[in-house]
Amino acid sequence: MADRFYIRTKFLIIILAVLAVYSYGWKVTEIEVGELFRDFHLVKPLVKELAQPDLFTREKKFQIVEAEFFLSQNHRENNPQESEGTNPKLILSRQPGEISFTLTVRGLNLKPEQSGILYWVNAIEQEFPLGTFTTDSSGAFQKDITVVPPNARGVRQTVKAVLSWEEGGWQVSETLSLTFEKMVETVFLALMATTFGVLVALPLSFLGARNLMPRNKLGTFIYYAVRTALNVLRSIEPLIMAILFVVWVGIGPFAGVLALGLHSVAALGKLFSEQIECIDSGSVEAITAVGAKPLQVVFFGVLPQVILPFLALSFYRWDINVRMSTIIGFVGGGGIGFLLQQWINLLKYNEAGTALLAIAIVVITLDTLSAKIRARVQ
């Protein structure tokens, strides 16, 4: 009876401790579930653009027409006369005028049934959008400008109409071509980083395996030194390493290779050494008993047992590095991440959606390939 009471009391204390931990964690992390629903309208347009990647496009054509407008306080109003001809033109309802004057802009002989944007351009070539318009079947439009913009500077001003439309067949967009180029760079960036990581981690893993190091002061010192170095490197995020290497070698994929390669050394070194510690010691003892040297023990007693797990772990690390290289690119480490960061900063979410789609396809492909390879070699 007392044992049952003790078990129930212990279980209750554990439950209360877990609840206290998560309650404090909920408070520290400031979780507000209501904000997910209250502010969803703010992110909805962004998600909509991301879901419409820029994959294919048609040739874009432009038509630009301009009309001059002169600012003058001592003005004598003229009503511009329409000139004959079939050339595209803009006609302003009054000329010259002052700031805050109202104008009517008419367009003639433009591309029929097309949309465009009207701009006010001041004397120092600053452009200010005035709104959109659509031409009719004859290529004409009329739009009232409420006021001449108060930021008009100088005497000579310009009203500009810009029409744009697409024509011709569909073709691969420039965004998709650039994304493909950077995605290839990302895959090979991860491949080179993984290769460098394997080459350095392989010898370190034998020094960090407790069952291979001699039971003396030197062996113990080497074991703890290697393990400590690997743990310290693993504790530093690749993003931090990338920032350091970008300062060191400059912006580009080389900085990304160095950052991911160094982190791969730490991660693979630990995994490799733990794999070595799990080998069957019988074959190692047998080879050692017949007088084999340390290198012979490694080549004939250890490597045959760990070579397949090492290959599986290396392929898995390549898969991880492809995903991590996206974040590395945000700080100048090259690859698709650098391009994605630029598009997000410029609010080009359609282009960013193209990059995200490419990343998802490559990660899924590599994950499937890596899983099949690991299944075969294990």
208-256 tens-digit pLDDT: 888 878 888 888 899 999 999 999 999 999 999 999 999 999 988 999 9
Q: Residue 84 pLDDT > 70, yes or no?
A: no
Residue with tokens 């650098």: 338
Q: How confident is the model at residue 376 (pLDDT cuts 50, 70, 90)?
A: confident
pLDDT for residue 57: 85
Q: Exposure of 252 by Cβ count < 10 A (0-12 exposed, 13-18 middle, 19+ buried)?
A: middle
Q: Inform me whether the pLDDT recorded for 53 exceeds 70.
A: yes
Report the amino acid identity of residue 252. G
Look at residues 126, 117, 130 and name the one whose alpha carbon lies nearest to residue 151. 126
What are the residues whose beta carbons fall under 8 Å from the beta carbon of 225, sequence distance 6 or more?
A: none
For the chain, the domains span 2-50, 57-169, 174-377
CATH 1.10.3720.10 is right for the domain spanning 174-377 = yes
What confidence score (pLDDT) does residue 83 get?
57
Confidence bin at 290 (pLDDT 50/70/90): confident
Q: Model confidence at 202, in pLDDT bands (50, 70, 90)?
A: very high
**How many other C-beta atoms lie within 10 A of the C-beta of residue 362?**
19
- Percent of the chain scoring above 90 in pLDDT: 33
The answer to which of 220-234, 298-312, 331-345 has the lowest mean pLDDT is 298-312
Query: Mean pLDDT, to the nearest integer, of 311-334?
Result: 89
Task: Assign 178 a pLDDT band (cuts: 50, 70, 90).
Answer: very high
The DSSP H or E segment spanning 56 is: strand 56-70
Average pLDDT over the chain, rounded to an integer: 85
Average pLDDT over residues 308-315: 88
One-letter amino acid of 25: G
Looking at residues 304-328, what average pLDDT do you find? Answer: 88
What mean pLDDT comes out for the span 77-89? 66
pLDDT at 375: 75
Which residue, chain included where needed, has tokens 């040739």?
A: 59
**Residue 240: closest CA among 270, 279, 266:** 266
Whether pLDDT at 146 is above 70: no
pLDDT tier, 201 (very low <50, low <70, confident <90, very high otherwise)? very high
Res. 257: pLDDT tops 80: yes
Q: Is the pLDDT of residue 153 over 80?
A: no
DSSP state of 82: P
Lowest mean pLDDT among 41-45, 206-210, 232-236, 321-325: 41-45
- pLDDT value, residue 267: 94
Q: Which of 259, 268, 254, 269 is nearest to 316 (CA)?
A: 268
Cα dihedral 42, 47, 53, 59 sign: negative
Q: Is 293 helix (H, G, I), strand (E, B) or coil?
A: coil
Better-scored residue on pLDDT, 8 or 28: 28
Which residues have C-beta within 8 Å of that of residue 25, sequence separation ≥ 6? none
| Interacting residues of 270 by C-beta distance below 8 A, sequence separation 6+ | 208, 227, 230, 231, 234
pLDDT above 80 (res 16): yes
d(CA 220, CA 212): 11
Place of tokens 């998600």: 47
Mean pLDDT of 276-280: 84
Contact 88, 108 (CB under 8 A): yes
pLDDT for res 312: 86
* pTM of the full structure: 0.72
Assigned token pair, 197: 């990581």
Taking residue 28's Cβ as centre, other Cβ atoms within 10 Å add up to 8
Per-residue confidence at 152, pLDDT binned at 50, 70, 90? low
Residue 230 tokens read as: 């690997």
Q: What is the pLDDT of residue 149?
A: 62
